[in-house]
Structure 1
Amino acid sequence: MAAPVMSLEVLPASFGDCLLLTCHTPSGPWRLLVDTGPDETYSALQAHLRSLMPNAQGKRVVDTFVVSHIDHDHIGGAALLLNDDSLDLEFGDIWFNAPTPAGPRTRGVAEGQRLAEILGATSRALPWNVATEGQWLRSSPKQRCPSIDPRRGLKLTVVSPSLMKLKALFAQWDKELAKMRAKTREAVEPARLPRGVLLLEDLAASETATDKALPNGSSIALLVEYKKKSALLAADAHPDVLVEELRALADSRQVKLPWNVDVFKLPHHGSRANVTTELLKVVRARHYVVSTNNAQFGHPDSEALARVICTGGRPTIWFNYTTKQNLSWNDPERRAQYRYACRYPSAPGGGVRLEL
């Protein structure tokens, strides 16, 4: 069996995100870590990183660490990670948006120390947005593609956030940062689950409100491409931003929509407020990933997964937890009727790994 070109590991992160994407290049693995999950699941990330092979200098390298936005279920384990000397970690770059940009590379040490303070690291200065020369990671014609080692053939395209969404968060930065540190969350309506063999078309067509949360709107979402394989990692991004940017990107590359990717990590853990019909008309995937154990928000919402299934193409849906709610989508009659597949962890609490 041929070695994979790209692999995506969706680690157990409770109701949050913790993703490790590896591009297997001739010069060695290039690793992208997106978020850490909440602090209560840090041990799973720690164990996984400890299994990585150190380089010749004895360091375990994470080439790019993306902190997508300031929600506890995405950033909560960052301080633990950055203070964990036992892992001998080396970061090539850390992508994170804060109200004041990091500044030019020449100010890297001082600005990296400020990043460390924001993220809760106590003993180290850190590289901060080096790829964008200290500027915000955002979707724009001039800044969609940060400079990632071109010799490896890697391409990362930023498809969220927009400048408008970033500024909306920054206007409420202190308030939202306090909420994140206090681990407070917005109340949400419980998910409605399908029972028996239902017409998912009715669920898919349901009118649902779209996400307005400021931190979610500021999410760094990325399209990662390597050797004709691609993954769209959408964090908790707002669907209107993803739709607008993917349309603009398709136009600039003269690609006919829907934009086809191999893997689509669904935004906001499969929330109906983020996985919209309009979004799924713009992007189509072979594999859809849901990262949640259903806690707190009750995600994934039945409307969201119905929309995924009804787009066609015989999708495979990956769940990083085997729960009663997630298993409800594995009903044999429903799978046969709608021609989709489900994948779950091979071991309890083990997360899932996709290889492309």
Structure 2
Amino acid sequence: MKISFLKAFNGDSIWISFLEKDIPKNILIDGGVGNTYKNKSNVKGDLYKIIEKIRVDRQFIDLLILTHFDDDHIGGILRWLNKDKEASKLIKKVWFNSGKEIAKKFESDESEDLDIEIVDGADDFHTSPKQGIKFEKYLRDNNLWEGEIIEQGSEYDLFGLKFKILSPNNEKLDKLLKLYEKQKDYFTSGDEFDFQTSLKDFIEEENQPNFQFKEDTSVANGSSIAFIIEYEDKNYIFLADAHPSVIIEGLNIFGYNKENPLNVEFMKVSHHGSMYNTNKELLEIVKTDNYLISSNATKHGLPNKRTIARIINNNTNTVIHFNYDLTDRVFLKEDWNDFLIFKTKVTNEFTY
């Protein structure tokens, strides 16, 4: 199995390729921002290159997982569908929690903000005035989607892999339906970067008895599809932008807790390393030395160095894997003197 973390700018896009009974299979998790596919100057990104490789090799995207509605996860996929009239022929199956199906589940009114359009030829699906087709209709018309809600506690056996769904739960789906608003300031930066504070200072602060963790409040992030993949007796955990309380709740459902932790090959850290999406309790349940953070550190103050400090405080053998070269920017000289064991790597591919 090969797991590739694409250069998705400030987003997520993950390609998993493996064999099922000697037949090549491909899973694509999210597509990063639009430029991960192709920018307005026609410069091709990692997503474009992977899609074309799959096409040239006469293979398929056997499962496309769209974890949630934020542009930094679905923008690249929607730009691909906008630009490529043959895209649907490459996709076999889609996991996607649509507003229409969530409304059915809760017997509630639909939210227009959860409607997504495929707009022929458009660069920006969320701003184009051109006539488009609703994303859900596109999926159904091309027999790519069964309309199933992917939710916490479900298990799936596909292609010789076992999926255990950790997030979202009913509460987060209900909030998405009632409270979601389309992103209006997506391309503006949010919080400031915290790289000038030392790891030691963060750890000392968080070790104080009065320190309190604050959880992410984003409605879209809370609806993220997060899951464990089990393949040949090894586990891998993909957390999208999910909330830690929901991830922990999901882990508990599958029998994992501090006394019976989940051992994984790596953790795809939630929400690009945000300090609001990884807490001490989660790190005590999921055991690994390898933590992957997907971010080019250009937007929203992410990754948070505080999160990295929290991870290292939990496990001094930590290896932080970035999919962009951020090491010199994130860490101070004193960090390496204070913590001699932890390592950082630029890792775009894991092979098992």
> Shared fold by TM > 0.5?
yes
Aligned to 2:156: 146
Aligned to 2:96: 96
Q: How does 1:1-356 map to 2 (within 5 A)?
A: 6-43=1-38, 44=45, 45-52=47-54, 54=56, 58=58, 60-83=59-82, 84-85=84-85, 89-101=89-101, 117-119=133-135, 125-130=141-146, 134-140=147-153, 144-149=154-159, 152=160, 154-173=161-180, 176=181, 178-179=182-183, 182=184, 184=186, 188-195=190-197, 198=200, 201-202=203-204, 204-205=206-207, 207-250=212-255, 256-312=259-315, 314-323=317-326, 327-329=329-331, 334=336, 337-344=339-346, 352-356=348-352
Distance in 2 between residues matched to 1:264 and 1:11, nearest whole Å:
16
| Deviation for aligned residue 1:96 | 0.6
| Deviation for aligned residue 1:51 | 2.2
Kept in 2, the 8 Å contact 1:82–1:121? The answer is: no
| Deviation for aligned residue 1:194 | 4.5
User: What are the superposed Cα offsets for residues 129-154 of structure 1, whole Å, 9 maximum, x if unpaired?
Assistant: 44xxx3210003xxx113424xx3x1
**What TM-score do the two structures reach when normalised by structure 2?**
0.79
User: What are the superposed Cα offsets for residues 112-164 of structure 1, whole Å, 9 maximum, x if unpaired?
Assistant: xx99644399698334544xxx3210003xxx113424xx3x10111100011
| Deviation for aligned residue 1:314 | 1.2
Q: Secondary structure at the match of 2:237?
A: strand
Q: Secondary structure at the match of 2:242?
A: coil
**What TM-score do the two structures reach when normalised by structure 1?**
0.78
1:163 is aligned with what amino acid? N
Q: Which runs of 5+ in 1 are unaligned?
A: 1-5, 104-113, 346-351
| Deviation for aligned residue 1:332 | 8.9
Percentage of matched positions with identical amino acids: 25
Distance in 2 between residues matched to 1:186 and 1:207, nearest whole Å:
28
Structure 1 segments (4+ residues) deviating >6 Å: 120-124
Q: Which runs of 5+ in 2 are unaligned?
A: 39-44, 105-115, 119-132
Distance in 1 between residues matched to 2:162 and 2:213, nearest whole Å:
34
Distance in 2 between residues matched to 1:121 and 1:259, nearest whole Å:
38
Distance in 1 between residues matched to 2:19 and 2:316, nearest whole Å:
27
Distance in 1 between residues matched to 2:152 and 2:173, nearest whole Å:
10
Q: Secondary structure at the match of 1:77?
A: helix
| Deviation for aligned residue 1:15 | 0.7
Distance in 1 between residues matched to 2:88 and 2:56, nearest whole Å:
8
* Alignment root-mean-square deviation, CA: 3.1
